[in-house]
Structure 1
């Protein structure tokens, strides 16, 4: 029996974007199909029409299974299943099939619409793989993970994080105070400041090293990193996630090495340990003489790209040249330190904010204009500066450094290759229960 639909219905039939098959339920033969169906399986009309639907469908085998499916289609107002169509190229096409039963001129017919869900299946498989990775991270990864709900103050601690701190899987109350009460008192103000600045959008991420008390009452060094991942319609942070790594061994090794050296081996500048001694010494001197003291913290912009593109040997050469250029530009009474990585710190006694900004900008321009004759493809190297002055931006070394560090992050946030002055300090107090966790 040959069906003859009207030209309008035939046009609609051919232009439906999904594959459409008209099937004889008693024989399973395909009576007609649209162009989308031909394209979906890579066959011609002669290779499909008057052939059994079983030749296309990989998940239906034999007349008995077809008879069972046909009865289910008759009983249901709209029969739905997921299947796989064979493709002429030898592969398969995952499909979502909706089949309905209707009568036409006294004859029972099935109309099947098969949607190609290849992309959706691929996305689901990718999501499933990510879920497996996430489950692994939450239970077996080296680093401990945390997930903080800001409005409620609840914090999820991963099993590994609990083990890191000596707790069992059902210990550590999921509340903010579990963290707050165990941060080392000397690190509290710094951790709080970094966290607040990230929540306020001044830092791209929360990233800080500090000491955390474990179950036995001992302090371990941790590297705590996180980021806001959800905000409310007003832009206020509502969720923050991150990870904590135990760096006690590395930190102890660093401290042991710092104990036996005062200079950085690569650049020849004074190192971080010596910087802390000189900072306190210079601040005490300036306080006694009642003169200002400038603190300038700066680092090289996108320095990781230099190492990635040219290798660490070239990166080391850049750091050595930067140290030489800076030393040649400052006063003999100024102290320049390599603070760590591509970060440097300068301490200038008896200098006001105006002259410190001029000095920092002179250094910035000199570094930007430096030519690298042995590194022709390197291009220019730029830097970002944060400056603070005693007593305007702090009365202690810790306050001055926090002010300069915050200014440096503003310089980065505002486009890099610039100098930013310190802003007023945050109150040095722990946040309320729903205002600031670390993990």
Structure 2
């Protein structure tokens, strides 16, 4: 089994470089997220402030996404990735300075976070758009699984390293590690040699308005995709409660940052388990797996919300990782198979904008509600939303009849 996974991992030099570069930067980012989120709550003692901080990580990305899609379809996606890694590394250095002199403020942190979020708006869709150019179409599911595997291994190691090193090197040390990770990522991506076919379609002079109209036509012809994207956006609103209130939930149960990091790692271990199964098996993209993954996700959150046992919490979050991952791999694979080469950048950017549009509102709403209601009640609401989404996907005739293999 391990041999099969590693065989796919090393089969393509470009894909190998992409995964390794992304893995290093994601390790740094996960460490940084744990340390900064914990720092914000420790400094302010308010879940609402954690919510405002998380809003700063998403809102700029949503606003910039439509323009980033236009840029990605008219320039080298690989070069954009390199540039974004460089810029994010520099931003981490600018953040380190006030930390080193003991002058870091919430406002300054938010400003840096906003700029990093804008860079993410270009980098993330660039990755999804580049993967189909460097691996064969029949390997897309496995390729996406391996990329998600790398991502989730970083989510296992990152929180553990972050929570541990936070006690040793402090926030400043973790910020420097994150800066270095972006430099390493950029060096790996710049070594990728790929023929970016979208640059040869003769569309470089096409206007932003024209591109947007083509994207609109694509969604009109693919109503299934649009309905699914809207559903994901609604569900992301409810699952946003987990992001903003998990450290609050852990703290209220009398636990510390090490338990918080362990829960995030359990989430990723579950995701890794799902990735390994998806990679070594020949599971095809299907609506059934989308529905099942939402059921698994919702039920595990329900169990998590009803217990104060750390062991059961760990197991529940492990299962959450499985549900999340199966859904994400299937969804990304569907998009990569049906989106034309010259539309990938803008469609992925719009998908990113639509699926995350409600997340900043979610962080604000649930950050406020966390000050007045038990976090367990809010998590139960999240589980109900996920289960309802699973029922909708399962029962919808249009979704069941659709198959990207047809």
- What TM-score, normalized to structure 1? 0.24
Structure 2 length-normalised TM:
0.26
More strand by share: 1
Higher relative contact order (CA 8 A, sep 6+): 2
* Higher share of residues assigned helix: 2
Question: Which has the higher Rg, Structure 1 or Structure 2?
Answer: 1
